[in-house]
Amino acid sequence: MGLIDFDIGSLGKSIMDGIDELVTSDDERAAAKLKVQALLAQPMLMQAEANIQSAKSTNWWVAGARPALMWVCALALLWNWLLLGIVEVFIATFSDNANQIMSLLPTIDSHEVTGLITALLGLGALRTWEKTKGVARD
């Protein structure tokens, strides 16, 4: 099983099944399961806290770059997947020289935008990992 194939749900189920076998008391079993659930929820809570702290920042380098890249990607995808088609239909319907006009419309390679989105999400994940290890700078 590689890192990408890792399923936290199956890990949690395995741990819960192991607790059922090791602990005989219902109170101890419930307490142990509660502790495991809290541990499994920890990464999500840490990401939520990182998002909150990033949103609170007044520093442009922290709060400005990531949203700017997200908006660029969102606008590029909006243009490519929705607006370009609407504009082409409008031009084809109401223009006599539609082919010439449509050849001038910009298109964006969605592979490039997808690569940027992936890199953006990867940087967010790396920043979260740094914070969990205590090596992140303020």
Contact by Cβ (8 Å): 29, 19: yes
Predicted confidence at residue 125, as pLDDT, reads 80
**In 23-104, alpha helices (H):** 26-56, 60-63, 65-78, 84-94, 98-104
Structure tokens at 110: 């969605």
**pLDDT band for position 8 (50/70/90)?**
low
Average pLDDT for residues 10-25, to the nearest whole number? 71
Q: Output the pLDDT for position 87.
A: 93
Query: What residues have CB less than 8 Å from 23, skipping those under 6 apart?
Result: 29, 32
CA–chain centroid gap for 18, Å, is 32
Position 1 confidence tier, pLDDT thresholds 50, 70, 90? very low
Taking only the tens place, the pLDDT of each residue in 58-89 is 776 666 767 787 788 888 889 988 999 999 99
pLDDT in tens, 77-126: 899 889 999 999 999 999 888 888 888 888 888 787 888 888 877 877 87
Share of the chain above pLDDT 70, in %: 82
pLDDT, tens digit (0-9, with 9 covering 90-100), for 38-60:
877 888 888 888 877 776 777 76
Decide if 86 contacts 94 (C-beta within 8 A).
no
CB 47 within 8 A of CB 128: yes
Query: For residues 112 and 33, what is the distance between their CA atoms, to the nearest angstrom?
Result: 44
The pLDDT assigned to 2 comes to 46
Q: What is the pLDDT of residue 45?
A: 82
